[in-house]
A = this chain, B = another copy of it.
Amino acid sequence: MSNGRRLTRGKLSKLTGCNIETIRYYERIGLLPEPPRSAGGHRLYAEDHLKRLVFIRRCRELGFSLEEVRAFLALVDGGKYTCGEVKTLTLHHLQSIREKIADMRRLERTLAEMSAQCDGGTVPECPIIDALFETRL
């Protein structure tokens, strides 16, 4: 049940772990709706904002871009999204994560090999530096 508690920006920040400036940023780019204000102009958030911000942060933690988050929110806001649409977006993202992992593993392997060539001695001749000067292709 929504108890009518009103949260300041600082409280929302603490509850979600989201940086206080980032909350304002999300509002500016239209991810978080403008909340009502106090007489003095302070933002007063409700449970809905909290829920939405948790959603955004969770998406970000999972590596979704803000545009992808926006797409999710549009589906949810539209009210008539389907499971299929959501799954498509998610699988797409999963694919790109997998590609990034593959890229990083190649980097890892190359760096490990380069390091292994180098004895870390005190001479000013280094196989790592040599390798970096190599045109590869």
Contact = CB atoms under 8 A, between A and B. Distances in A.
A83 B126 contact: yes
A123 interface: yes
A63 B107 contact: yes
B86 A97 contact: no
Given A97-B107, A104-B104, A108-B94, A120 B83 contact: yes
Contacts of A3: none
Interface string A106-137: 01101110110011111111111101111110
Q: What is the interface residue range for chain A against chain B?
A: 35 or more
A84 B120 contact: yes
Interface stretch (A21-29, A33-41, A53-61): A53-61
A80 B126 CA distance: 11
Given A101-B108, A112-B94, A86 B134 contact: no
Interface of A: 51, 54-55, 58-59, 62-63, 72, 75-76, 79-84, 86-88, 90-91, 93-94, 97-98, 100-101, 104-105, 107-108, 110-112, 114-115, 118-129, 131-136
19 contacts: A51-B133, A55-B132, A55-B133, A58-B131, A58-B134, A59-B132, A62-B132, A72-B132, A83-B119, A83-B126, A84-B120, A87-B115, A87-B118, A87-B128, A90-B111, A94-B111, A94-B115, A101-B105, A101-B108
